[in-house]
A and B are shown apart, each in its own frame.
Chain A
Amino acid sequence: MHLHKYEKIWLSFGIGSLILFLAILGVSAFAFGHHPPSEMATVDSQNLSEDPIFSNPGLEEIGDNRYRAVLIAQAFGYNPSKIEVPEGATVEFLVTSSDVIHSFTIPGTNVNFMVTPGHVNSAEYTFRESGEYLVICNEYCGTGHQFMQMVIEVVPQ
Chain B
Amino acid sequence: MTQSNLAFKQTKIEEPGLHPKDSRIAMVHVSVAFVAFLLGVFGGLLQGLERGGMIQLPSWLGYYQILTAHGVLLALVFTTYIIFGFLFAGMSKTHGTFTDGLRKLGWTGFSIMSIGTVLATIMILTNQASVLYTFYAPLQAHWLFYVALALFVVGTWLSGSALLTHYYRWKKANPGQPTPLFGFMTTATILLWIIASIGVATTVLFQLIPWALGLTDEINVVLSRTLFWYFGHPLVYFWIMPAYMVWYLVVPKIIGGRLFSDSLARLAFILFLLFSIPIGFHHQLMEAGISEFWKFTQTILTFVVIVPSLLTAFSIFATFEQTGRQKGGKGLFNWIKKLPWGDVRFFAPFMGMIVFIPAGAGGIINASFQLNSVIHNTLWVVGHFHLTVGTTVLLTFFGMAYWLIPVLTGRRFTKHANRCGMVQTWLWTIGMFLMSGAMHILGLFGAPRRTSYTTYQDHPQALQWFEGIFASHITVAIGGVILTVAGVLMFYNFIYLGFLAPKGKTEFPITPAPLDTPNTPKYLENWKLWIGVAILLILFAYTIPIFHMIVDAPPGSPTFGNLIK
B147 at the interface (CB under 8 A from A): no
In the assembled complex, the CB of A41 is this many whole angstroms from the nearest CB of chain B, namely 8
A138: contacting residue among B284, B292, B448, B520, CB under 8 A: B448
* Known A-B contacts A138-B448, A142-B563, A146-B451; A114 and B288 likewise in contact (beta carbons under 8 Å): yes
Residue B207 interfacial (CB < 8 Å): no
Within B125-155, the residues touching A (CB, 8 Å) are 130, 132, 136, 138-139
Partner of B564, one of A45, A103, A105, A142: A142
| Residues of A close to B448: CB separation below 8 A | 105, 136-138
Closest Cβ of chain B: how far from A40's Cβ, in Å? 6
Docked-complex contact A108 and B445, CB < 8 angstroms: yes
Contact of A42 among B452, B453, B554 (CB under 8 A): B554
B-binding segment of A11-19, A56-64, A65-73, A85-93 = A11-19
Answer whether residue A155 sits at the interface, using C-beta atoms and an 8 A cutoff: no
Task: List residues of chain A with CB within 8 A of the CB of B253.
Answer: none
Q: Are A25 and B299 in contact, with the CB atoms below 8 A?
A: yes
Contact A38–B292 (Cβ < 8 Å) = yes
User: A21-B364, A105-B377, A149-B457 in contact; A46/B555 too (CB < 8 A)?
Assistant: yes
CB of B258, distance to nearest CB on chain A (Å): 15
Verify if A37 is at the interface (C-beta below 8 Å from B): yes
Q: Which residues of A contact B554 (CB under 8 A)?
A: 42-45, 118-119
Bound complex: CA A113 to CA B286 (Å):
5
- A113 CA / B278 CA spacing, docked (Å): 22
* Nearest CB on B from A91, distance (A): 16
Mark out the residues of chain B between 358 and 391 whose CB falls within 8 Å of any chain A CB in the assembled complex.
364, 368-374, 376-378
In the complex, which of the residues B261, B286, B292, B453 has the most CB atoms of chain A within 10 Å of its own CB atom? B286
Complexed CA–CA distance, A140 and B47 (Å): 15
Which chain A residue has the least Cβ–Cβ distance from B381?
A138
How far is the CB of A74 from the nearest CB of chain B, in Å? 10
* Residue A139 lies at the interface, judged by CB distance under 8 Å to chain B: yes
The answer to whether residues A110 and B373 also contact, given A75-B563, A140-B64, A147-B454 and a CB cut-off of 8 A, is yes
Q: A44-B554, A112-B376, A114-B287 are in contact. Are A99 and B452 (CB under 8 A)?
A: no
Of A22, A28, A132, which one neighbours B303 at CB under 8 angstroms? A22
Shortest C-beta distance, A133 to chain B (Å), equals 8
User: What residues of chain A lie closer than 8 Å to B368, measured between beta carbons?
Assistant: 21, 25
A26 adjacent to chain B (CB < 8 Å):
yes
Asked if residues B299 and A138 are in contact (CB atoms below 8 Å), the reply is no
Q: What residue in chain B is nearest A9 (Cβ atoms)?
A: B314
A120 at the interface (CB under 8 A from B): yes
Could you tell me if B451 and A36 are in contact, using CB atoms closer than 8 angstroms? Answer: no
Chain A residue contacts of B304, Cβ below 8 A: 18
The interface residues of chain A lying within 8 Å CB-to-CB of B445 are 107-108
Which single residue of chain A is at the shortest CB-CB distance from B556?
A118
CB distance from B282 to the nearest CB of A (A): 10
A157 at the interface (CB under 8 A from B): no
- Residue B485 is within 8 A (CB to CB) of chain A in the complex: no
Cα separation A139 to B459 with both chains bound (whole Å):
19
Known contacts A1-B263, A18-B306; A113/B456 CB under 8 A = no
**Most chain A Cβ neighbours within 10 Å, of B292, B300, B520:** B292
A29 lies within 8 A of B374 (CB) = no
**Chain B: interface size category:** 35 or more
Residues in B neighbouring A25, C-beta threshold 8 A = 296, 299, 368-371
| Contact indicator B369/A36 (Cβ below 8 Å) | yes
* Contact of A154 with B by CB under 8 A: no
- CB within 8 A of A117: which of B62, B221, B303, B521? B221
Q: Is there a chain A Cβ closer than 8 Å to B516's Cβ?
A: yes
What residues of chain A lie closer than 8 Å to B557, measured between beta carbons? 45-46, 99-100, 117-118
Residues in B whose Cβ lies below 8 Å from that of A22: 299-300, 303
Let me know if B565 and A10 touch, CB within 8 A. Answer: no
Query: Which residue of chain B has its CB nearest to the CB of A114?
Result: B287
| Contacting residues of chain A (109-157) with chain B, CB-CB under 8 angstroms | 110-121, 132, 134, 136-147, 149, 151
Q: How far is the CA of A48 from the CA of B318 in the complex (A)?
A: 61
A111 vs B372: C-alpha distance when bound (angstroms): 11
Nearest chain A CB to B337 CB, angstrom units:
21
Q: A114 — which chain B residues lie within 8 A by C-beta?
A: 284, 286-288, 376-377
Is residue A39 within 8 Å, beta carbon to beta carbon, of the partner chain?
yes
Residues of B within 8 A of A112 (CB): 286, 373-374, 376-378
Q: Mark B266-299, 1 if CB is under 8 A from A, else 0.
A: 0100000000000000001111111110011001
Give the distance in Å from the alpha carbon of A47 to the alpha carbon of B453 in the complex.
33
Let me know if A116 and B287 touch, CB within 8 A.
Answer: yes
Query: In whole angstroms, how far apart are the Cα atoms of A1 and B271 in the complex?
Result: 15
A104's nearest neighbour on chain B, judged by CB, is B286
Asked if B456 and A136 sit within 8 Å, CB to CB, the answer is yes
Q: Is B558 engaged at the interface, CB distance under 8 Å to the other chain?
A: yes
Instruction: Select one of A38, A118, A141 contacting B290, CB under 8 A.
Output: A38
A138 touches B307 (CB 8 A): no
Would you give the 0/1 interface string for B532-562, flagging 1 where the beta carbon is closer than 8 Å to chain A? 0000000000000000000011111110100
B519 beta carbon closer than 8 Å to chain A: yes
CA A42 – CA B76 in complex, angstroms?
Answer: 34
Q: B516, A29: Cβ atoms under 8 Å?
A: no
Tell me, in angstroms, the Cα distance from A41 to B552 when the chains sit together. Answer: 10
Which residues of B are found within 8 Å of A100, using beta-carbon distances?
136, 138-139, 557, 560, 563
A105 and B461 alpha carbons, distance in the complex (Å): 13
Give chain B residues whose Cβ lies under 8 Å from the Cβ of A115: 288
The CA of A111 and the CA of B452, in the complex, are separated in Å by 22
Q: What is the distance, in angstroms, from B562's C-beta to the closest C-beta of chain A?
A: 8
Please state if B288 and A143 are interface contacts (CB–CB under 8 Å). Answer: no
Q: Which residues of B contact A11 (CB under 8 A)?
A: 307, 310-311, 314
Q: Does B222 lie within 8 Å of A116, measured CB to CB?
A: yes
Q: How far apart are the CA atoms of A29 and B288 in the complex, in Å?
A: 16
Q: For B558, what are the chain A residues with a Cβ–Cβ distance below 8 Å?
A: 46
Q: Nearest B residue to A34 by beta-carbon distance?
A: B370
Which of the listed residues A10, A25, A75, A118 has the most CB atoms from chain B within 10 Å of its own CB?
A118
Given contacts A15-B310, A37-B288, 18 further A-B contacts (CB under 8 A): A14-B306, A39-B288, A47-B555, A75-B563, A99-B557, A100-B557, A112-B378, A118-B555, A119-B289, A120-B288, A121-B287, A140-B64, A140-B132, A140-B451, A142-B560, A142-B563, A145-B64, A146-B452
List 22 A–B pairs whose Cβ atoms lie within 8 Å, in order of A's numbering.
Answer: A7-B264, A11-B311, A14-B307, A22-B303, A35-B292, A37-B287, A38-B292, A40-B291, A41-B288, A46-B555, A108-B445, A112-B286, A113-B288, A114-B284, A116-B225, A117-B138, A118-B556, A119-B287, A134-B462, A136-B448, A143-B64, A145-B451
